[in-house]
Structure 1
Amino acid sequence: MDRLNCRVTIVLLGFLLLRAARLLRGAEASEIALPQGSSITILIKLGPSAPPVKPCFIIISKRHVTVLVIKAGEKMVFTFSCQDPQNHFVMEIQKNIGQLNLLGFSGALVTKTHSSWGTFVWDVKAHKSIGLELQFSLPRLRQIGPGESCADGVTHSISGRIDATVVRIGTFCSNGTVSRIKMQEGVKMALHLPWFHPRNVSGFSIANRSSIKRLCIIESVFEGEGSATLMSANYPEGFPEDELMTWQFVVPAHLRASVSFLNFNVSNCEKKEERVEYYIPGSTTNPEVFKLEDKQPGNMAGNFNLSLQGCDQDAQSPGILRLQFQVLVQHPQNESNKTYIVDLSQERTMSITIEPRPVKQSRKFVPGCFVCLESRTCSTNVTLTPGSKHKISFLCDDLTRLWLNAEKTISCTDHRYCLRKSYQLQVPSDVLQLPVPLHDFSWKLLVPKDRLSLVLVPKQKLQQHTHERACNTSFSYLVATHLAAPGQDLHYGSFCPGGSIEQIQVKQNSSVTLRTFAPGFQQEAYKQGLTVSFVPHFKEDGIFTVTPDTKNKVYLRTPNWDRGLPALSSVSWNISVPSDQVACLTFFKERIGVVCQTGWALMLIQEQRTQLEEIFNLEEVMLPKPSFHYHNFWVNISNCSPVSGKQLDLLFWVTLSPKTMDLTAVIIAVVAGGALLLLALGLIICLVKKKKKKDKGPAVGVYNGNVNTQVPRQLKKFPKGRKDNDSHVYAVIDDTMVYGHLLQDSNGSFLQAEVDTYRPFQGPTGDCPPSPPPICSRTPTTKLTTEELPPCISPESESEPYTFSHPNKGEMGNGDIDIPLLDTQEPLKPAEEL
């Protein structure tokens, strides 16, 4: 009899819904009468998005109201003040089924409306030991998170009870996998329909079941490949304290399921421990217990359950327990049965991460890619830690959708131990044997500050990547120095095999990253390989050793090309020139465009054999025209503190060509040959004269009063450089000087005279770059002219030797000879013209 009465009530509810929907269509009078004892309440109120203009009211006995409540046993006649009440009001029809005690109760709650409109609420209460089950017909439901909405505007809001507390189970749309929801003690179901939605059924039924002994159970059914995103109760707020919630997944036997946690938080527990438990048919360890931060199971065949268990929270600081996760169901992949071993047991600073490659989102179902440890614990990304041996497999239809990133640290703490030690930078074979493509392999190189520096020597000479000559290999090296000061990182550039760079020297802590660009890296892996050595500290930020190719241009550019060379940094290129070749140095632009705030931006070009050098102020002067170099030479760039937006970046190239004998060279050779002939004749005449005067007394020196006795000084205006004038030529003592007898050796013969007057430094020059003029000024830049040196450019070293020609013994001439006083300090070299 009770069951019959419940069915009558449900039919009556459907009739009322039909009548209510017809009433809310215009301004004509409407009448709603609810039978006594029907447990039905109708609430008509303004909707949340009611238009702010032209307000609409409910008219009852000439009273204008915005809320109307009709309870069981009441009859209400009313009209609306507008023609479109559906745009202003929502209707909630509440049915309190009450305390259900019969285990066999069931029934369909149907709305027989042609134009359903409003929010319909079913509120069912039951004893604490009674379980209530909501069953959803096709299409099943899909849970949505905060801020999401349903495409058709139809939403199902489902709540449960814990004593007097309402717990929100979730909000659902159509077209999902959720087929049933079981709750204990009570359920409240709210169906929200837009006024234009042509729906005539509620889409669910309700039945009472035995106790489920937990907050709720959500059943999710997969009929083929697909995914489902689900959330804990009250998400994103906290899960109820010390409660248990379960999800049951029905998966066809021929498919595989994998779980990944998208977002979670744990609370502060006083007792017990928050965890997730899996019940997997066929597992010998059921239930399998995991922490929320663990990698979750994957590649599971058949149905399985997942439960979330809370704890007793700290009353003072409870925290929040919440979970959002995804279940992906797909066909088993070819790689799922293959196991790969990655042995990192001997490594201490190397880690490997396998993760999804970034791709554009697609609305179509895309099978997931999972990495599984020991074939069970699977995740979309996995990090293999050092010190262990790892067994991994893949659940993925296309392994190119994953990529691998690795990192290794090579550090030195004791410079005495590390000095001259070398290490190989090479991708290990365990990484190359994996079927996942390598993206990055980075080595962090750490050295004691101001103690050691680094030298990188490639297995094959490198080419610097530029727009003019791009790398076309499957991988390249990215070299960078990382400084503590923000914005001061120095990115030397991208380098690939097949060029002219023999080594790269870096001043301090750096990183070298091997980055791949094409699947062909496996075939070109033999080309990769760098040797890093710890060497004594040097002051240059970077030094490149370059041996140009005789067939191709060598393009070189300053580090930090896109952002400009960091302030006060200095970089050098040591460029070798074969003995049978001549090098042409060409700059891409006529001007740099850098504007200095303090200091100077300078470029120095120095011949390594002759020590001849040219200095250019990059802020003011034009870069030199193409120049030819017959010997090894240096190019040094030193930056100032530039004004923001005016950065220093320089691109240049070097080409080699065979040496040729031109007309000028022939003339010079002829003149040189004639000079040698004259010199030989002169020596013969001198020897004859010396023999004739062998019996004569010692020669007497003549004092010349016109000699300038002042110490040579730097002239303020000196238009020529030393190489262009005779400022370095000193008057010599004639062979008739009184001191000529001191030039005799033990046999009585005279020593031969040395030629030329200025001898440059002839020590080793190839290993160390030229020292640029010091940039010590922190005052605003002053303009350099051809008449003066920068204030901080130091004079030439006093150790540069000058030689004086030694005279032969002979008669002293009677003419006046200007003999400058000898001084230990040489005259300063005038500034080169810019």
Structure 2
Amino acid sequence: MEALEIALPQGSGITVHIKLVNPALPVKACYMVVSRQYVTELLVKPGDKKSFTFSCNNPEKHFILEVKKSIDCMSGPCPFGEVRLQPSTSELPALNRTFIWDVRAHKSIGLELQFSAPRLRQIGPGESCADGVTHSISGRIDTTEVRIGTFCSNGTVSRIKMQEGVKMALHLPWNIPRNISGFSIANRSSIKLPLPLAMVDKYIVSFCFGSASTGLCIIESVFEGEGSATLMSANYPGGFPEDELMTWQFVVPAHLRASVSFLNFNVSNCERKEERVEYYIPGSTTNPEVFRLEDKQPGNMAGNFNLSLQGCDQDAQSPGILRLQFQVLVQRPQNESNKTYVVDLSQERTMSLTIEPRQVKHGRRFVPGCFVCLESRTCSNNITLTAGSKYKISFLCDDLTRLWVNAEKTLSCLDHHYCSGKSFPLQVPRDVLQLPVRLHDFSWKLLMPKGKLSLMMVPSQKLQQNTHERPCNTSFGYLVASTTPGQDLYFGSFCPGGSIEKIQVKQNSSVTLRTYAPSFQQEVSRQGLTVSFIPYFKEEGIFTVTPDPKNKVYLRTPNWDRGLPALSSVSWNISVPSNQVACLTFFKERSGVVCQSGRAYMIIQEQQTRAEEIFSLEEEVLPKPSFHRHSFWVNISNCSPMNGKQLDLLFWVTLTPRTVDLAAIIGAVGGGALLLFALGLIICCVKKKKKVNKGPAVGIYNGNVNTQVPQAQKFPKRRKDNDSHVYAVIDDTMVYGHLLQDSGGSFIQPEVDTYRPFQGPMGDCPPSPPPVFSRTPTAKFTADEPAPSGPPESESEPYTFSHPSKGEVGVRETDIPLLNTQGPAETEE
């Protein structure tokens, strides 16, 4: 390779040191050749002249170069002014170079580093500069070196002033042909000031007020327009020197506003004094403004200001670490900056309100801050207002959609005797709605004595349950969930415009009003729930539903994504108007639940007749679409399911008009008369034959024959689906024919009666779950009323039934064929 030469003038105070990048690694690939000797290190001192070559073509991968100049300002004058690179980069080999200036001065002398454009930007641990050019600056406290920070180009730091000397290191990559240092050194007065405030070179410096302690350094940061700067305390992320003072001066154009945010900080264990930050803000009547590091820091400041970090005397046994990383954001004032909003929580006891940023993607390089300010001065990107006080807030934000409000209020009942029957509204307070930022969540926590009371929620407008089949498209909705510890029960998300009239929950719950669109401000009048304390019940929840005749009503079990909690029960009270017929349809054919213990059941109960159908959800298929002319209950009770085999059901209800066709009714009545005439004729014929050991034919219920009357398509689907009104004739040799004979062998004439529907009160209590040993679908009746001879009908559809008036007829023999069940009927309370 080409021979290189380094010559240093006598008395220059400069040394050049070339060494391996990593001396610990074995050297095989590259050496320096000096006077025909292979060496790995070369030191050139003042007055020396050294010639050398490299044994490889890429020495920059193996060697680094360090140029160090010592400047002694204690024994002679300091060489103030612009600092030059000596020797210049053109005189040095193309290696990664570090120029170090070590200036020693007396404690009474202040040395100032001035940086020409571009100014410096401080970086934290692990960060690097895009061009590889870095500035590392350190100061001294007696014999201890203190690292001020590492900086890149293109920032706001214009000057750094230190006491008792400075050490400046400029690192240049081997491929950067730079021949200037970019800074100069000036002599300034001591940082030690006897007065709280002093003028230093036409800018104001704030120090430890009332103290004459020596400040470590002063850093000036100049903003020419909108922008931000991140700065750190000395030795960051290590500990700030004990009982020291560090000051940052910020030069801000008068038409802009500055806000300070602490990104990261720690406090040490103080034995004397107190760690704090102090602000000098021109125009403030309370200078200095003193804050703890835990406090919200000032914002919305116009013009120049200073910030100082003051340490304390630390505990010798356990000193701890004081450190600070903060950001200063400078931006144009917004229209909202001059508006003040009052949030009065002085009458509240359990309410809190938080204004915080929401996640918004930005494409711009500089993103102005979004701050909330208390009394127009203490600003932060998030702020929490608590009960018992009255607040005045303003906003320093270019786009208020970047913020939102979350609030929480607790409503508790301690005396169940007093609270029983009490009602109260869940409405967002006006002070929250008048804020110019969007409300995200307002949550009410509803607490009550365990096992004493339950809750009933009645919305101002009927609610729709949010499902994939029919999602909510409103600007807001309600989220209802249990808050009982250890129970993860989410009832669902609901929005206005549905069929749910009320929701009843067994225990402590939370109701959250969540907004989905800014149009909530126009629909705010639609929000509102009334909550009442009601007598305690054992089910987890009860939903009262009045279906909309025009739409399907989709309903699903709570905890849809995770399954209904073990051993819990939920009911739906579904009302059917008198002129409508309801169709109940399940989404799946089977529930999919697998029980580890206990049984999972579903009960469908007609409220007028109290007739129940019970289905085992683990073993049986779910019922096919069924039609209900009267209000009914749907109850779902879970077992202890196995993992991965949870219970979640989706079903829907539709309404169709209950039409009345006179021709169809006449046809049905005529058909019934003909059927009775044929039955009588057969009985007469059998009586004339007088066959031995054969009884007469009898009309019995036949569930398998479909005799749809012509033009019956005008009827909605009702009894023709189960053919419960159809009778067929069997031969007189049937085994039950003898029941129509008396003791003398003569036949008993049947009595004729008309079925009338039950006109009693509707059921207001959900059906009780069956015993755990029940497995098969069962028709269930109350003990205080007889089993009906068929599904209930309206008075407009009369049917006649024949039954014996005399003779010993067992309950079992008559119940089974009339009910058309798959097994024996169970009677239970």
Superposition TM-score tier, normalisation by shorter sequence: 0.7 to 0.9
Per the TM alignment, residue 660 of structure 1 is displaced from its structure 2 partner at its CA by 2.5
Q: Distance in 2 between matches of 1:803 and 1:604?
A: 18
Per the TM alignment, residue 665 of structure 1 is displaced from its structure 2 partner at its CA by 5.8
Find the partner of 1:87 among 54, 61, 72. 61
Calculate percent identity across the aligned residue pairs: 73
Find the partner of 2:128 among 139, 145, 149. 149
Task: Name the CA shift for 1:648/1:96 in 2 (closer, same or farther; >3 Å).
Answer: same
Structure 2 unpaired stretches of 5+: 193-214, 678-721, 728-735, 744-750, 789-804
Find the partner of 1:766 among 763, 767, 782. 763
Q: Which residue is 1:785 aligned to?
A: none
Task: Name the CA shift for 1:203/1:774 in 2 (closer, same or farther; >3 Å).
Answer: farther
Task: Name the CA shift for 1:598/1:346 in 2 (closer, same or farther; >3 Å).
Answer: same
The aligned amino acid for 2:410 is T
Per the TM alignment, residue 217 of structure 1 is displaced from its structure 2 partner at its CA by 0.4
Q: Is the 8 A contact 1:135 1:206 kept in 2?
A: yes
Q: Distance in 1 between matches of 2:555 and 2:232?
A: 56
Within a 5 Å distance, the mapping from 1:502-521 to structure 2 comes to 502-521=501-520
Q: Which residue is 1:78 aligned to?
A: 52
Q: Distance in 1 between matches of 2:569 and 2:22?
A: 66
SS in 1 for 2:417: helix
Q: Is the 8 A contact 1:116 1:200 kept in 2?
A: no
Within a 5 Å distance, the mapping from 1:681-720 to structure 2 comes to none
The aligned amino acid for 2:343 is V
Q: Distance in 2 between matches of 1:833 and 1:133?
A: 100
Task: Name the CA shift for 1:803/1:55 in 2 (closer, same or farther; >3 Å).
Answer: closer
Q: Distance in 2 between matches of 1:630 and 1:53?
A: 95
Task: Name the CA shift for 1:569/1:233 in 2 (closer, same or farther; >3 Å).
Answer: same
Per the TM alignment, residue 242 of structure 1 is displaced from its structure 2 partner at its CA by 0.5
Per the TM alignment, residue 298 of structure 1 is displaced from its structure 2 partner at its CA by 1.1
Which whole-Å deviations, capped at 9, do the CAs of 1:742-785 have from their partners, x for residues lacking one? xxxxxxxxxxx99899x999986532211122559xxxxxxxxx
Q: Distance in 2 between matches of 1:445 and 1:61?
A: 89
Q: Distance in 1 between matches of 2:442 and 2:520?
A: 13
Q: Distance in 2 between matches of 1:420 and 1:387?
A: 28
Q: Which residue is 1:564 aligned to?
A: 563
SS in 1 for 2:523: helix
Which whole-Å deviations, capped at 9, do the CAs of 1:305-335 have from their partners, x for residues lacking one? 0000011111111111111111111111111
Within a 5 Å distance, the mapping from 1:220-259 to structure 2 comes to 220-259=221-260
Per the TM alignment, residue 489 of structure 1 is displaced from its structure 2 partner at its CA by 1.3
Within a 5 Å distance, the mapping from 1:739-818 to structure 2 comes to 766-775=763-772, 789-790=774-775, 799-800=783-784, 817-818=807-808
Task: Name the CA shift for 1:795/1:462 in 2 (closer, same or farther; >3 Å).
Answer: closer
The aligned amino acid for 1:97 is I
Q: Which residue is 1:630 aligned to?
A: 629
Q: Is the 8 A contact 2:608 2:761 kept in 1?
A: no
Q: Is the 8 A contact 2:587 2:650 kept in 1?
A: yes
Q: Distance in 2 between matches of 1:198 and 1:292?
A: 44
Q: Distance in 2 between matches of 1:754 and 1:267?
A: 98
Per the TM alignment, residue 376 of structure 1 is displaced from its structure 2 partner at its CA by 1.1
Per the TM alignment, residue 571 of structure 1 is displaced from its structure 2 partner at its CA by 1.3
Per the TM alignment, residue 541 of structure 1 is displaced from its structure 2 partner at its CA by 0.9
Per the TM alignment, residue 566 of structure 1 is displaced from its structure 2 partner at its CA by 2.2
Q: Which residue is 1:132 aligned to?
A: 111
RMSD across aligned C-alpha pairs, in angstroms?
3.6
Which whole-Å deviations, capped at 9, do the CAs of 1:568-611 have from their partners, x for residues lacking one? 22211110001111001111222232233322232221111112
SS in 2 for 1:534: strand
**Bigger mean CA offset, 442-451 vs 655-664:** 655-664
> Structure 1 residue 113 and structure 2 residue 89: aligned?
yes
Task: Name the CA shift for 1:175/1:762 in 2 (closer, same or farther; >3 Å).
Answer: same
Which whole-Å deviations, capped at 9, do the CAs of 1:244-291 have from their partners, x for residues lacking one? 000000011111111111111111111101111001111111111111
Normalised by the length of structure 1, the TM-score is: 0.79
SS in 2 for 1:83: coil
Q: Which residue is 2:690 aligned to?
A: none
Task: Name the CA shift for 1:138/1:770 in 2 (closer, same or farther; >3 Å).
Answer: same
Which whole-Å deviations, capped at 9, do the CAs of 1:660-694 have from their partners, x for residues lacking one? 246876566567889999xxxxxxxxxxxxxxxxx
Q: Distance in 1 between matches of 2:480 and 2:772?
A: 26
Q: Distance in 2 between matches of 1:65 and 1:800?
A: 111
Task: Name the CA shift for 1:666/1:133 in 2 (closer, same or farther; >3 Å).
Answer: farther
Task: Name the CA shift for 1:123/1:803 in 2 (closer, same or farther; >3 Å).
Answer: closer
Q: Which residue is 1:209 aligned to?
A: 188
Q: Is the 8 A contact 1:438 1:516 kept in 2?
A: yes
> Structure 1 residue 615 and structure 2 residue 589: aligned?
no
Q: Which residue is 1:441 aligned to?
A: 442
The aligned amino acid for 2:545 is V
**Bigger mean CA offset, 667-676 vs 766-775:** 667-676
Q: Distance in 1 between matches of 2:407 and 2:182?
A: 52
Per the TM alignment, residue 30 of structure 1 is displaced from its structure 2 partner at its CA by 3.1
The aligned amino acid for 1:653 is W
Q: Is the 8 A contact 1:105 1:208 kept in 2?
A: no
Q: Which residue is 2:645 aligned to?
A: 646
**Bigger mean CA offset, 594-603 vs 318-327:** 594-603
> Structure 1 residue 339 and structure 2 residue 340: aligned?
yes
**Bigger mean CA offset, 224-233 vs 554-563:** 554-563
Q: Is the 8 A contact 2:65 2:95 kept in 1?
A: no
Task: Name the CA shift for 1:657/1:802 in 2 (closer, same or farther; >3 Å).
Answer: closer
Which whole-Å deviations, capped at 9, do the CAs of 1:204-242 have from their partners, x for residues lacking one? 111222111300100000001111111111111111111
Q: Is the 8 A contact 1:116 1:199 kept in 2?
A: no
Task: Name the CA shift for 1:574/1:515 in 2 (closer, same or farther; >3 Å).
Answer: same
Per the TM alignment, residue 452 of structure 1 is displaced from its structure 2 partner at its CA by 1.5
Q: Distance in 1 between matches of 2:824 and 2:342?
A: 65
Structure 1 unpaired stretches of 5+: 1-26, 678-720, 737-752, 777-788, 805-814
Normalised by the length of structure 2, the TM-score is: 0.80
Q: Which residue is 2:307 aligned to?
A: 306
Q: Is the 8 A contact 2:259 2:301 kept in 1?
A: yes
Task: Name the CA shift for 1:575/1:234 in 2 (closer, same or farther; >3 Å).
Answer: same
Per the TM alignment, residue 54 of structure 1 is displaced from its structure 2 partner at its CA by 5.8
Q: Which residue is 1:594 aligned to?
A: 593
Q: Which residue is 2:210 aligned to?
A: none
Task: Name the CA shift for 1:647/1:724 in 2 (closer, same or farther; >3 Å).
Answer: farther
Per the TM alignment, residue 562 of structure 1 is displaced from its structure 2 partner at its CA by 2.1
Within a 5 Å distance, the mapping from 1:465-476 to structure 2 comes to 465-476=466-477
Per the TM alignment, residue 132 of structure 1 is displaced from its structure 2 partner at its CA by 1.1
Q: Distance in 2 between matches of 1:566 and 1:297?
A: 49
Q: Is the 8 A contact 1:143 1:229 kept in 2?
A: yes
> Structure 1 residue 59 and structure 2 residue 33: aligned?
yes
Task: Name the CA shift for 1:51/1:550 in 2 (closer, same or farther; >3 Å).
Answer: farther
Task: Name the CA shift for 1:423/1:450 in 2 (closer, same or farther; >3 Å).
Answer: same
SS in 2 for 1:521: helix
SS in 1 for 2:326: strand
Q: Distance in 2 between matches of 1:451 and 1:183?
A: 71
Q: Distance in 1 between matches of 2:190 and 2:621?
A: 89
Per the TM alignment, residue 654 of structure 1 is displaced from its structure 2 partner at its CA by 0.7
Q: Is the 8 A contact 1:774 1:794 kept in 2?
A: no
Q: Is the 8 A contact 2:428 2:442 kept in 1?
A: yes
Task: Name the CA shift for 1:372/1:754 in 2 (closer, same or farther; >3 Å).
Answer: farther
Q: Is the 8 A contact 1:116 1:197 kept in 2?
A: no
Task: Name the CA shift for 1:103/1:78 in 2 (closer, same or farther; >3 Å).
Answer: closer
Per the TM alignment, residue 637 of structure 1 is displaced from its structure 2 partner at its CA by 1.5
Per the TM alignment, residue 85 of structure 1 is displaced from its structure 2 partner at its CA by 0.8
Q: Which residue is 1:9 aligned to?
A: none
> Structure 1 residue 159 and structure 2 residue 138: aligned?
yes
Q: Is the 8 A contact 2:63 2:95 kept in 1?
A: no
Per the TM alignment, residue 816 of structure 1 is displaced from its structure 2 partner at its CA by 11
Which whole-Å deviations, capped at 9, do the CAs of 1:89-145 have from their partners, x for residues lacking one? 111111111234667741322223246732221111111111111111110000111
Task: Name the CA shift for 1:833/1:242 in 2 (closer, same or farther; >3 Å).
Answer: farther
SS in 2 for 1:202: strand
Task: Name the CA shift for 1:76/1:53 in 2 (closer, same or farther; >3 Å).
Answer: closer
Q: Distance in 2 between matches of 1:394 and 1:49?
A: 57
Q: Distance in 1 between matches of 2:77 and 2:507?
A: 78
Aligned length: 716
Q: Distance in 2 between matches of 1:205 and 1:630?
A: 94
**Bigger mean CA offset, 51-60 vs 533-542:** 51-60
Within a 5 Å distance, the mapping from 1:248-647 to structure 2 comes to 248-485=249-486, 488-647=487-646
Q: Distance in 2 between matches of 1:104 and 1:81?
A: 41
